Structure 1
Amino acid sequence: MASALGDTMRAAAYESTAGGLHKNLKATSSWPLPKNAKNLSKDQTLVRVSYASLNPVDYKVPELPLLGRFVFSKGVPGLDFAGTVIESTLPHLKPGERVFGETAPPSFGALGEYLIASKEACVPIPDGVEPKHAATLGVAGLTAYQTIAPFIKSGSKVLINGGSGGVGTYQIQIAKILGCYVTTTCSGANAELVKSLGADEVIDYRSQDVVQTLTRSGNQYDLIIDNVFADADLYWASPKYLKPEGSYVTIAGNAKFSVIKNILSIFLWPKALGGGQRKFQFVTCVANAVQYAELAKWMAEGKLKAIIEQEFSLDDAGKGYERLKTGRTRGKLVVKVT
């Protein structure tokens, strides 16, 4: 029972982000329990975490110059988790049941021994699915689903810019499960990986000009998902390879002036004056228990698999974020919490 807990827990925590969150993350056994851990509110579940998986938002938010300094000056990072129910106010979740999901900023907390999850973001792990695999579905799996399912139908052609990362590896698989033809970009070193996941065509962005290659191909796509969005070149040229009724979706972006200028031009300038010629939108992952259950079902059936590059101990969680910051991970990075 939650009331039998002590007042502290083991966690990988930081008390500063100076020089980067990864440099300040340290394992401790005396971090305070999550607020309300002993007195859950409606629709909350207290989970003992077994695995967490890492996402860029975990460090990008705390490292923001002002927000990080005043709102996230210290804490336990991590959104994605898998673990065991300790107590729940939800009637369908019982103590001892295996679950997975995500927390939400500003809570984070997946790199702690205990966390509190909401109704839409805490779902049973099916039999036959390993907890560390389920832990990777939280943000990456759900983002992949929400960038594909609403925009396509069976037979659609999908282009994924950046297919070998945590979200991309799931996007390829989900697009194939839903009956799509998939083209993806990645480095040549990851070509065999994305092909093994079902990619029909692969463009090596290091040896090929992506825009020129797409233009020459003659393919007309129903959906383009840009996981990189380092610049807007792929979007501005998209009328050559994205159908007029197609959608251009991104989950990325940065604070560079050139990127912000391009985004404003896409949204604010009329088409006739050089504004966006194709539908453009950002997609932000929104917790959805029904969609989580679908992803877990596919995983249990062997249709969807987690690609895990490396597993870290809680003591080495900082090294995990250091690796994530390179932008070169193949699939997901996970941390064994308990």
Structure 2
Amino acid sequence: MGPVERNLYLFSSVPKPKPSDTEVVVEVFSTTVNPIDYKILELDLISKLALRSPVTPGLDFSGRIVEVGSAADHLKPRDVVFGSCNGVFGHGALAHFVQVSQDTVALAPQDAKADDLAAIAIVGMTTLQALRPYVKAGDKVFVNGGSGGTGVMAIQVARELGCNVTASCSSANVELCKSLGAVEVLDYTQADIIEQLNGRETRFDVIIDTVGSPSNLYGTAHRYL
């Protein structure tokens, strides 16, 4: 299939979808692209066998509800919402309208920006699933890759859950991570993260690795947990 950006086409005659009983139809204001949006589509033969063409990619979105299903009980037309849809295998967010389950959207906070809301759902759910079941107030959390999409969310969520957060990032993003709530930041451009962790006495209750590098972090994690 090749790179997704070379295989995107605009279809102006696609009809507006109809919601099932528990679905809503959202007019999309803003969307974003996560790695999963394009990596599955770029698997060539596997993607051709697993997906039915044409595929509309995109998981995250923000927008306004224009229609609700008969059993949709807590949302109404004109509500501004954000959330995610089944953009990997179904009707994605790179569209004028998208139909989604009412359970996968949330009401937008007042005065929130559409672009900001569209960047929340996937990284937000990833972070909650990685943190909330496993930490309690006072725990120490290390976020490897604190300035990336999931890392930025992880620092903030961990702090909201009462955790003490250490993060890693490059020199350019040290102040960003601190402003989000990291009490200590390890700069991987100054020294290898493994070396820095080996030189510390701190032990963490949870490590979230959003990067996958250094590749030996998983194998040595028992030293720091």
Q: TM-score, normalised by structure 1?
A: 0.62
Give the residue type in structure 1 aligned to 2:201. G
- SS of residue paired to 1:221: coil
Q: Aligned partners of 1:187, 1:198: CA distance in 2, in Å?
A: 16
Q: Aligned partners of 1:33, 1:139: CA distance in 2, in Å?
A: 27
Unaligned runs of 5+ in 1: 1-16, 243-338
1:107 is displaced (CA, Å) by 1.5
Q: Aligned partners of 2:91, 2:117: CA distance in 1, in Å?
A: 17
Deviating above 6 A after TM superposition, structure 1's stretches of 4 or more consecutive aligned residues are none
Are residues 72 and 225 of structure 1, via their aligned partners in 2, closer, same or farther at CA, if it must alter by over 3 Å?
A: farther
**Partner of 2:85 in structure 1?**
103
Please say if 1:49 is aligned against 2:28. yes
Task: State the identity %.
Answer: 39
Unaligned runs of 5+ in 2: none
What are the residue-to-residue correspondences of 1:1-338 with 2, within 5 Å? 17-18=1-2, 20-30=3-13, 32-33=14-15, 37-38=17-18, 40-70=19-49, 71=51, 73-89=53-69, 90-104=72-86, 105-230=88-213, 232-242=215-225
Aligned residues: 221
1:76–1:111 Cα contact (<8 Å) kept = yes
2:82–2:107 Cα contact (<8 Å) kept = yes
**Partner of 1:312 in structure 2?**
none
Deviates more, 1:70-79 or 1:219-228: 70-79
1:230 is displaced (CA, Å) by 4.1
* Structure with greater contact order relative to length (CA < 8 Å, sep ≥ 6): 1
Q: Aligned partners of 1:175, 1:205: CA distance in 2, in Å?
A: 21
Q: Aligned partners of 1:33, 1:195: CA distance in 2, in Å?
A: 47
Give the residue type in structure 1 aligned to 2:118. A
Q: Aligned partners of 2:177, 2:118: CA distance in 1, in Å?
A: 21
1:53 is displaced (CA, Å) by 1.8
1:120 is displaced (CA, Å) by 1.8
1:152 is displaced (CA, Å) by 0.6
Q: Aligned partners of 2:101, 2:214: CA distance in 1, in Å?
A: 36
Query: Cα RMSD between the aligned structures?
Result: 1.7
Q: Aligned partners of 1:180, 1:22: CA distance in 2, in Å?
A: 40
- SS of residue paired to 2:119: helix
2:75–2:102 Cα contact (<8 Å) kept = no
1:91 is displaced (CA, Å) by 2.1
Give the residue type in structure 2 aligned to 1:160. V
1:32-53: CA deviation from partner (whole Å, max 9, x where unpaired): 246xx23x22211111101112
- SS of residue paired to 1:50: strand
Are residues 61 and 235 of structure 1, via their aligned partners in 2, closer, same or farther at CA, if it must alter by over 3 Å?
A: same
Q: Aligned partners of 1:231, 1:118: CA distance in 2, in Å?
A: 38
1:62–1:72 Cα contact (<8 Å) kept = no
Q: Aligned partners of 1:212, 1:151: CA distance in 2, in Å?
A: 26
Q: Aligned partners of 1:229, 1:141: CA distance in 2, in Å?
A: 19
Q: Aligned partners of 2:186, 2:45: CA distance in 1, in Å?
A: 39
Q: Aligned partners of 1:208, 1:27: CA distance in 2, in Å?
A: 46
- SS of residue paired to 2:30: strand
